[in-house]
């Protein structure tokens, strides 16, 4: 199966989930779904369709978008099955990913930064 998302790849999500992901967490069909959901959330938050307008995004910003999308997608994966790790490990992973997500949202909501990204 090929990656279904635009902003991130399944491999990036797997890296964000980390070692010892469950079978459900590493299943590409699931990571593709979570990527699409993350892309939708990012577009809604920014009020800009990143997927449709991907070609207009500056190259130096695409890795930022991939990082934010893969972190958000990984959060969905970890929440889908937290039993893979001890609770403290799962919570620690979620905290790190949420920090990336929150920092990304701050930038996505900043219209001046968004304009620079898509100029």
Residue 73 CB: number of other CB atoms within 10 A? 32
The model's confidence at residue 1, banded by pLDDT at 50, 70 and 90, is: low
The confidence score (pLDDT) of residue 81 equals 79
pLDDT digits (tens, 9 = 90+) for 29-80: 889 999 999 999 999 999 999 999 999 999 889 999 999 999 999 999 998 8
- Considering the entire predicted model, what is its pTM? 0.91
Flag whether 3 is in a domain: no
The confidence score (pLDDT) of residue 13 equals 94
Judged on CB neighbours under 10 Å (0-12, 13-18, 19+), 42 is buried
Residue 67 sits in which domain range?
A: 10-117
Flag whether 1 is in a domain: no
What is the domain count for the chain?
A: 1
The confidence score (pLDDT) of residue 47 equals 94
Flag whether 4 is in a domain: no
């Amino acid at each position: 199966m090929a990656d279904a998302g635009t902003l991130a790849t399944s491999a990036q999500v797997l890296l964000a989930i980390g070692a010892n992901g469950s079978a459900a967490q590493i299943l590409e069909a699931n990571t593709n779904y979570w990527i699409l959901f993350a892309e939708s959330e990012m577009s809604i938050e920014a009020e800009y369709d990143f997927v449709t307008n991907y070609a207009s995004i500056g190259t130096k910003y695409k890795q930022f978008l991939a990082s934010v999308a893969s972190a958000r997608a990984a959060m969905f994966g970890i929440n889908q099955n937290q039993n893979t790790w001890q609770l403290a490990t799962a919570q620690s992973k979620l905290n790190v990913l949420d920090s990336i997500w929150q920092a990304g949202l701050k930038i996505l909501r900043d219209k001046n930064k968004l304009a620079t990204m898509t100029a």
